[in-house]
């Protein structure tokens, strides 16, 4: 059984924290991730949401939608924004840098990630494997 939750965003102050809270709330409502391993996976998912929303605010114009889809064995998250520009890593990934780690975290913590045109902007998405 598939489930979808969509949240319109205003892109204003606090949008990153709001998206983290919405993600936690949805995962809790769906009882998607339980036990110690589920708590770790939830923390990873919330971190990735935080990263793609932050990137959207900094580089992509205004984020206008958070979408979370669940199917057996996977969770798909996407954030849509108003910029058509493709996300690209900023420089070389190095320890000690204060910022610029978001796309590297997506590569490390998700099964897959990418972007696609959406309206006049784009959606950045990631997929995480979950227990069935």
List pLDDT tens digits, range 27-82. 988 886 778 788 889 999 999 999 999 989 988 778 999 999 999 999 999 999 99
Q: Do 86 and 115 contact (CB within 8 A), yes or no?
A: yes
Q: What is the CATH number of the domain that holds 61?
A: 3.30.565.10
In Å, what is the CA distance from 30 to each residue of 2, 19, 69, 109, 111?
A: 11, 16, 11, 21, 21
Q: Which domain holds residue 22?
A: 3-89+97-129
Instruction: For residues 98-118, give the mean pLDDT.
Output: 84
pLDDT at 87: 85
pTM across the whole model: 0.88
Q: Is the pLDDT of residue 114 over 90?
A: yes
Q: To the nearest whole number, what is the mean pLDDT of the chain?
A: 87
Q: Express as a percent the part of the chain with pLDDT over 90.
A: 58
pLDDT at 77: 98
Angle at 77 between CA 43 and CA 45, to 5 degrees: 5
Phi-psi sector, 93: left (phi>0), alpha (psi -120 to 50), beta: beta
Q: Bridge-partner residues for 126, per DSSP?
A: 77, 113
Domain count within the chain: 1
pLDDT at 104: 84
């Amino acid at each position: 059984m598939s489930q979808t939750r969509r949240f319109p965003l205003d892109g204003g102050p606090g949008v990153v924290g709001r998206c983290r809270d919405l993600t936690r709330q949805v995962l809790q409502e769906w009882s998607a991730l339980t036990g110690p391993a589920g708590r770790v996976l939830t923390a990873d998912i919330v971190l990735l949401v935080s990263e793609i929303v932050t990137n959207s605010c900094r580089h992509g114009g205004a984020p206008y939608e958070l979408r979370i889809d669940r199917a057996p064995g996977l969770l798909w998250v996407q954030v849509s924004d108003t910029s058509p520009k493709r996300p690209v890593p900023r420089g070389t990934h190095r320890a000690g840098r204060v910022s610029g780690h978001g796309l590297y975290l997506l590569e490390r913590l998700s099964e897959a990630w990418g972007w696609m045109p959406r309206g006049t902007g784009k959606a950045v998405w990631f997929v995480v494997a979950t227990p069935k």
